[in-house]
Amino acid sequence: MSDNKIIVTGGMGYIGSHTIVELVNAGYDPVIIDNLSNSNVSVLEGIKGITQRKIAFEEVDLSDSNACREVFSKHKDAVGVIHFAALKAVGESVEQPIRYYKNNIFSMINVLEALTTHHIDNFIFSSSCTVYGEPKKLPVTEKSPIQPATSPYGNTKQVGEEILQEAMAIEDSTIRTISLRYFNPIGAHKSTLIGELPLGIPNNLLPYLTQTAIGIREQLSVFGSDYNTPDGTAIRDYIHVVDLAEAHVVALTRLIKKQNKSNYEVFNLGTGKGNSVLEVIKSFERSTGEKVNYKIVDRRPGDVEAVYADTTFAREELGWATKRDLDEMTASAWAWEKKLRGQ
Ligand code: NAD
Ligand code: WQD
């Protein structure tokens, strides 16, 4: 068994590609499994430009149980799996719930079966702060109540966590799992060789903002200014994608070194600081010198007012904290957008 081979499902995607880079930096040997449903094979070139390494890539749909079984038999010497592969558009999941459940839940079950078959014992799951819904108390700790999911996408994360918790609780489970609840990842690698590649019209704030600043979109809509927040716009915990990527390496290493305190652990990954939509726009304008054409419009249905992480547990248990501030996030998102558009 090779002692540093890691399977990264969804490794061609936004967070996955940044994590591949940090895995290589930490001396791991990642293999990507991805069906390219929301990514592009050119990502491999970007990763190679940063790491000088050609990363093994398997184009496989993990929701297909036979294909999943086959690809895992080929890489059964892996010591861990980071499972990013999922569809993630909240609105689309409301329109196509069966597609979302099939893709996200089947993939996770197939991957877990493969782990069991091949005794690959270390598993990291991409969860989301969406599980907290509209929190009653801020900041949210890992013990804050889970609220009923408001979309099939959100439900795939909640059900995913429940399945893992139950599967890790059985006595003869040799698998150790960490669920990482991401807050709002933004920004890009400083090389501008990898970043977010939204398909079509972006739903998320940062890609919409940078596409507006570069002239692809006419105007950014700020969804609501009547929230009970200092400037009336909604608050989120924006985290630099490279900080997030580094956290995956820390969490995986914790499992491999058997430093985990139980077979199933959950960590919030955020900065601990909430910023409003207007603060993000101001940060972007400050860090780039560009102006954003924006207009305040009605609230977006389903949005929560404010959510940000209590980071104590991640800091004390994982020994991990973010290093990059909001201006670095917005500046790097802009550098990436310009690179994408050949500027
Ligand atoms: P992404 O869409 O950029 O990456 C996901 C990757 O998974 C894509 O490359 C896609 O092609 C692949 N994929 C999807 N279904 C697959 C399947 N059946 N088989 C093989 N590959 C498949 O998304 P991301 O932003 O990098 O998110 C990664 C993970 O983090 C997802 O699980 C997402 O739900 C979760 N997450 C993301 C955010 C966020 O804001 N970006 C926040 C919280 C949680
Ligand atoms: C951020 C803020 C919007 C776009 C979503 C998912 C969540 C998680 C992260 C995966 C909000 C405002 C946005 C725009 C705006 N993903 N906004 N104009 O909604 O916090 O979370 O992505 O797990 O599950 O729901 O992120 O980037 O869409 O919005 O004013 O054009 O920006 O109202 O306050 P969100 P977002």
Q: Which atom of ligand 1 is nearest to the CA of 107?
A: 18
| The two three-digit tokens of residue 72, written as one number | 């895992």
Q: Is residue 174 part of a domain?
A: yes
Q: Is residue 132 part of a domain?
A: yes
Q: Which atom of ligand 2 is nearest to the CA of 154?
A: 24
What residues contact residue 309 under an 8 Å CB cut-off, 6+ apart? 129, 139, 140, 181, 183, 237, 268, 269, 270, 271, 272
Residue 144 · residue 137 · CB < 8 Å? yes
Give the separation between CA 33 and CA 57, rounded to whole angstroms. 6
Q: Is residue 255 part of a domain?
A: yes
Kindly identify the ligand whose nearest atom is closest to the C-alpha of 151. Answer: 2
Tell how far the Cα of 307 is from the centroid of ligand 2, in angstroms.
Answer: 11
Provide the domain count of the chain.
Answer: 1
Least confident of 7-21, 51-65, 167-181, 317-331: 167-181
Give the domain range for residue 74: 5-185+240-269
CB distance 35 to ligand 1 below 6 Å = yes
Tokens 């991640």 sit at which residue?
314
Ligand 2 contacts (CB < 6 A) are: 88, 90, 128, 130, 184, 203-205, 208, 220-223, 234, 236, 277, 300, 303
Q: Where are the beta strands (DSSP E) in the chain?
A: 5-9, 29-34, 56-59, 80-83, 122-128, 176-182, 184-186, 220-223, 235-236, 238-240, 264-269, 275-276, 294-297
pLDDT above 80 (res 319): yes
Q: pLDDT tens digits, residue range 99-152?
A: 999 999 999 999 999 999 999 999 999 999 999 999 999 999 999 999 999 999
Kindly identify the ligand whose nearest atom is closest to the C-alpha of 225. Answer: 2
Among protein residues, the one whose CA lies closest to atom 27 of ligand 2: 204
Rounded mean pLDDT, 46-72: 98
Residue 2 pLDDT level (bands cut at 50, 70, 90): low
CATH number at residue 90: 3.40.50.720
0.95 exceeded by pTM: yes
Among protein residues, the one whose CA lies closest to atom 14 of ligand 2: 205
Q: pLDDT tens digits, residue range 147-174?
A: 999 999 999 999 999 999 999 999 888 9
Phi and psi at 106, nearest 5°, equal -55, -45
Q: Which of 153, 227, 264, 308 is catalytic?
A: 153
- Write the CA distances from 112 to 87, 105, 119, 176, 301, integer angstroms: 18, 11, 10, 11, 35
- Annotated active-site residue 294? The verdict is no
Q: Is residue 263 part of a domain?
A: yes
Give the separation between CA 23 and CA 118, rounded to whole angstroms. 22
Q: Is residue 49 part of a domain?
A: yes
Q: Which of 12, 15, 81 to mutate to test the pocket of ligand 1 (most atoms within 8 A of CB)?
A: 15
Among protein residues, the one whose CA lies closest to atom 39 of ligand 1: 185
Q: Which atom of ligand 1 is nearest to the CA of 38?
A: 11
Q: Is residue 311 part of a domain?
A: no
Kindly identify the ligand whose nearest atom is closest to the C-alpha of 94. Answer: 2
Give the separation between CA 310 and CA 237, rounded to whole angstroms. 10
What residues contact residue 150 under an 8 Å CB cut-off, 6+ apart? 133, 302
Amino acid 104: pLDDT: 98
Tell how far the Cα of 25 is from the centroid of ligand 1, in angstroms.
Answer: 22
Q: pLDDT tens digits, residue range 193-251?
A: 999 999 999 999 999 999 999 999 999 999 999 999 999 999 999 999 999 999 999 99
Q: Is residue 41 part of a domain?
A: yes
Rounded mean pLDDT, 88-100: 97
